[in-house]
Structure 1
Amino acid sequence: MVKVLILGGVGFIGRNLCSYLIENNLVDHITVADKVLPATAYLNSKHKAAFDSPKLTFKQANLTNAAAVEKIFTCDDGSEYDYVFNLAAETKYGQSEGVYNEKVFGLSVTCANEAAKRNIKVFVELSTAQIYDGDKKPSKEDGKTKPWTLIAKYKLKAEEELKKIKGLNLVILRPAVVYGPGDVLGITPRLIIGAVYRQLNEEMSFLWTKDLKLNTVHVSDVVKAIWWVAATKEEKGGRVNPVTTPEIYNLADKEDTNQETINVFIREIFGIKTGFQGTLISNFARLNMESVTEDINDKHLQPWSELCKNSGVTNTPLTPYLDKELLKDNALSVDGSKIENELGFSYDVPNVTLEKVREVIDDFVELGIWPKGTTVN
């Protein structure tokens, strides 16, 4: 009887993981712990079905609180969980370092210590590929680290602390930009901006160049990998003879996605022209990022609000807002082959396609949180 605990299981990746585990009959029971209630999380019909399954139990919890974590780790039947998947973290950009220290670093360490204390078979920590030095060369797992967002800074800090915990059977996953149904922060803001420029009847021009890397991985491959590494790790030892050397794997598809890759789909979906600002304006932006970011967001927020209002969308988590951390010229270039070579994993979505990108929008339209009539067809 396989029982798993998913920390942060209501979020984008968590809800997809729940569906994957239940649809493929991989577990006997799932406990989801999250501060966000499923009823308020804009779950689509597929994800709702997973949360309505008798195999799944939801428990609301503040995972930064050690007492709450200890309670969550206690199974209702008194047994221990086989696997714990930590997908919980502050994901919003632009927060203070104190927030990330508590809700990224502190949360991970608290949950990992509890897992070690209980001798959990495998603890999977979801990190980010933003911890790597942002250059054009694809980063491997042993590549140079130079976090270029505050979230990544505290994810890396958490990684280093988790590696020190004795008895923790640890696997760390570092995904590139994750997209797919439920994606709010990956490529979706760019898609929203595409809808805005269709409304404005203007060309959409991004900073930097078309070659700036923006490597991607579909959420279906991320959740498949989360399960894959846990099951493989247990085969190597598990609770009886744990392999205590942490294992780290990147997750990135074969597309080698860059800014132009996404722009091609934006042109097809919204019927607009796209381009890039060029060296002069981009270099000016680099020196004046605060004001440039403010101007960019001011231009996009009002038209998006009007689109939603005119379409009867009164409440939506979607926004074209871009934080200045994401507007910098940091290349997200990731080598995701190690997990294939070492564990026999394969990517089911090896390339970004128009169908997969449109699927993101269609899912939001069906939920009533994306305005209708924003696309060409």
Structure 2
Amino acid sequence: MPSCLVLGCANFYGRALIELLCAQRDAAKDSWHIRGVDKVLPQLASFPRDVEALYATIDFRMGNLRNPTFLEQAFAEPPGATTWDYVFNFAPEHKFGLAAQAYDQDVRQMSGLVAQLARARGAGVLVHLSSALVYGAHGNARAAEDAALVDKSCELPLARSHAAAEALVAQAAGDGLAAVVLRPALCYGPGDRQNAVPMLIMAQLSRISGSPLPVLWGGDRRISTVHVSDVARAALAAAQWRRTKGLVVFNVADEGDTTNAALARAVGALFGVEPAFHGAAASFLARRLRSAAELAELASESLLGPWLELLAEHGVANSPLTPYIDPEHPYCRLDAHPRGVDGARIAATPGLEFEYRRPRLAPAALRDMVAEFQAVGLWPAVPIPQ
């Protein structure tokens, strides 16, 4: 009869965890207590109806986790217990393109407060969701958990903030908290609006125009991936396993060892378009751009207009989905900074009992994403090739 506190329960990652916890609760026919906390109402999150309905079955509380007073209220004791068995901090910001101050508040500061409260309240375990963006440049190898992290000189504030947040979690773990840090690779699946979505939109537009799917950078560049359901399963498995005080860190990246070519082929296969890998001249031109921001702007200018026209043609208004690739998106820097991540450790840890159920990126999983977007009115109702 575990008690579960999920911070960030209505974001991309938190939604997947709520789905998993509710399924486990219902299968066990036990009185699990699940409290979900988020600044966004589930009714406003563009969830499918069956997902939205899950939030009516949990103790949902709305509020801003930046606020220390509200955060303390979120930690209020569960019914019949003095503390929480599992605290999942899925609230750290993962959205690209925000100001450094926002990341400092919504990643570093908030995560430090959560870790302090989890320790002070005697929580059974804290599972903290970080990001594999914390790894510094390591060539085209796959980063293991002991690889060097970015430092203060890193120009990406999102990565800096996540690395700083991990340090605060480690500090709380050193003071007696049982804690697990998860570092997911590029994550896709239902609810993703920024990681794989720009590539999917590009392929959709290529399908309509009858042109190949343009792919920049070398096909061998690693950009490891993971399905969001495996991230949720990793979090629950780690929480159920971890009982020793201190910190352990796990990457979460599938076994497929995704490369730029594999990503392009999976996306292209969904829409029936062939990837066209730009040669050395095009990649050289991209490298000559003064910044990743210029590359993102160049891509946006060529794709945004056709995408908006397609949305209007099919009566889709106010879709948050965009082909824009933010300069902090791993793809913008893939040539100089491949994003290989070794996710084997968590599956090999004795007693943890975790395996990847989505071992590699496949067109079928991408199809599920597009189908859900169409069902909730965020993607044009264009037939997807079977």
The answer to whether TM tops 0.5 is: yes
Q: 1:148 to 1:191 in 2, by over 3 A?
A: farther
Partners in 2 of 1:101 and 1:213 — Cα distance? 29
Corresponding residue number in structure 1 for 2:109: 106
Which residue of the other structure, out of 297, 301, 304, is the alignment partner of 2:300?
A: 297
Corresponding residue number in structure 1 for 2:239: 230
Q: What's the offset of the Cα at 1:66?
A: 0.9
Corresponding residue number in structure 2 for 1:339: 346
Partners in 1 of 2:322 and 2:383 — Cα distance? 15
**Counterparts of residues 8-157 of structure 1 (less than 5 Å):** 8-25=8-25, 28-53=32-57, 56-75=58-77, 77=79, 79-134=82-137, 135-146=139-150, 149-157=156-164
**Deviations 1:321-346 (CA, angstroms, capped at 9, x unpaired):** 10122211221111111112113321
| TM-score where L is the length of structure 1 | 0.92
Partners in 2 of 1:278 and 1:339 — Cα distance? 37
Farther off after superposition, 121-130 or 195-204: 195-204
CA contact 1:208–1:282 (8 Å) conserved in 2:
yes
Kindly provide the amino acid, as one letter, of the partner of residue 35 in structure 1.
K
CA contact 1:148–1:325 (8 Å) conserved in 2:
no
Corresponding residue number in structure 2 for 1:328: 333
Corresponding residue number in structure 1 for 2:246: 245
Partners in 2 of 1:212 and 1:81 — Cα distance? 42
Corresponding residue number in structure 1 for 2:170: 163
**Deviations 1:27-65 (CA, angstroms, capped at 9, x unpaired):** 611111111111110112332232122xx0111111111
Farther off after superposition, 338-347 or 173-182: 338-347
Corresponding residue number in structure 2 for 1:202: 211
Partners in 1 of 2:273 and 2:370 — Cα distance? 16
Kindly provide the amino acid, as one letter, of the partner of residue 174 in structure 1.
R
CA contact 1:63–1:111 (8 Å) conserved in 2:
no
The DSSP-based 3-state class of the residue aligned with 2:341 is coil
CA contact 1:104–1:158 (8 Å) conserved in 2:
yes
The DSSP-based 3-state class of the residue aligned with 1:172 is strand
Kindly provide the amino acid, as one letter, of the partner of residue 346 in structure 1.
E
Partners in 2 of 1:149 and 1:198 — Cα distance? 33
**Counterparts of residues 333-372 of structure 1 (less than 5 Å):** 333-342=340-349, 343-372=352-381
Kindly provide the amino acid, as one letter, of the partner of residue 53 in structure 2.
A
**Deviations 1:98-132 (CA, angstroms, capped at 9, x unpaired):** 11111111110011111111010100100111111
Which residue of the other structure, out of 160, 174, 193, is the alignment partner of 2:202?
A: 193
Which residue of the other structure, out of 310, 313, 316, is the alignment partner of 1:310?
A: 313
Partners in 2 of 1:350 and 1:148 — Cα distance? 32
Partners in 1 of 2:188 and 2:155 — Cα distance? 20
Partners in 2 of 1:192 and 1:14 — Cα distance? 24
Partners in 1 of 2:296 and 2:188 — Cα distance? 23
Gaps of 5+ in 2: none
CA contact 1:8–1:34 (8 Å) conserved in 2:
yes
Q: What's the offset of the Cα at 1:76?
A: 5.8
**Deviations 1:218-242 (CA, angstroms, capped at 9, x unpaired):** 11111111000001013xxxxxxxx
**Deviations 1:153-208 (CA, angstroms, capped at 9, x unpaired):** 11111101211121221110111111111111221221111112223333322221
Partners in 2 of 1:37 and 1:49 — Cα distance? 12
The DSSP-based 3-state class of the residue aligned with 2:355 is coil
Kindly provide the amino acid, as one letter, of the partner of residue 109 in structure 1.
G
Partners in 1 of 2:161 and 2:200 — Cα distance? 28
Moved over 6 A (4+): none
The DSSP-based 3-state class of the residue aligned with 2:143 is coil
Q: What's the offset of the Cα at 1:7?
A: 0.5
